[in-house]
């Protein structure tokens, strides 16, 4: 068989691109294959550990506690007609009231940031501040639905509920 220069080059390339593994099979190596890299990315998309300050960390902690607390409060309000029981020393009732204030605070902070910068709160570490922001808006929506139906009782426990 006579090998022409073109077929010799093809044979050499084929031998260079195939590597024999330990079990006797061949794998293909492509040293000249195109490498893809990211050319453009949204601003801050790669920054997972952006600094959100103490207020942001407090909002994450407070929001992660407040959203489920408000859900429990609204569920209890719908099923019993009363808010949560005061609990030992009034701790559950106090936490319920503070939870409403935290949600209103996060939504207010978010609206202020949106008006000032054109976007909402930063995502924060692992997207937690963004998640808390979304949960706060959902909690506010649920509160407004309950308010429209007339379910919201007074701030102090009455005799009809805990008397």
Least confident of 27-31, 65-69, 78-82: 27-31
- Nearest Cα to 17, choosing from 32, 31, 4, 29? 29
What rounded mean pLDDT belongs to the chain?
78
What's the average model confidence in pLDDT over 82-105? 89
Cβ neighbours of residue 93 under 8 Å, at least 6 residues apart? 83, 84, 85, 86, 87, 157
Instruction: Give the span between the Cα atoms of 119 and 53, in whole angstroms.
Output: 18
The pLDDT-based confidence of 141 (bands split at 50, 70, 90) is very high
Instruction: Give the span between the Cα atoms of 51 and 48, in whole angstroms.
Output: 9
Cβ neighbours of residue 63 under 8 Å, at least 6 residues apart? 102, 103, 106, 132, 133, 135, 136
Say if pTM beats, i.e. exceeds, 0.85: no
The pLDDT-based confidence of 2 (bands split at 50, 70, 90) is low
The pLDDT-based confidence of 107 (bands split at 50, 70, 90) is very high
What's the average model confidence in pLDDT over 94-102? 92
Higher pLDDT, 98 or 6: 98
Residue 101 has pLDDT above 90, yes or no: yes
Residue 21 has pLDDT above 90, yes or no: no
Instruction: Give the span between the Cα atoms of 61 and 124, in whole angstroms.
Output: 12
Give the other-Cβ count within 10 Å of 150's Cβ: 7
Percent of the chain with pLDDT over 90: 32
Residue 98 has pLDDT above 80, yes or no: yes
Residue 103 has pLDDT above 70, yes or no: yes
């Amino acid at each position: 068989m006579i090998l022409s220069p073109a077929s010799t080059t093809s044979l050499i390339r084929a031998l260079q691109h195939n590597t024999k593994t330990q079990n006797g099979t061949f794998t293909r190596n492509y040293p000249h294959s195109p490498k893809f890299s990211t050319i453009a990315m949204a601003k801050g998309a790669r920054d997972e550990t952006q600094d959100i300050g103490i207020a942001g960390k407090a909002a994450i902690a407070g929001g992660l506690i407040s959203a489920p607390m408000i859900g429990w409060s609204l569920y209890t309000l719908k099923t019993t007609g009363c808010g949560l029981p005061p609990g030992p020393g009034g701790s559950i009732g106090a936490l319920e009231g503070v939870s409403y204030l935290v949600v209103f605070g996060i939504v207010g902070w978010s609206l202020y940031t949106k008006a000032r910068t054109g976007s909402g709160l930063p995502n924060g570490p692992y997207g937690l501040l963004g998640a808390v922001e979304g949960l706060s808006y959902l909690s506010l929506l649920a509160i407004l639905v309950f308010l429209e139906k007339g379910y919201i009782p007074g701030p102090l426990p009455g005799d009809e509920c805990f008397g």
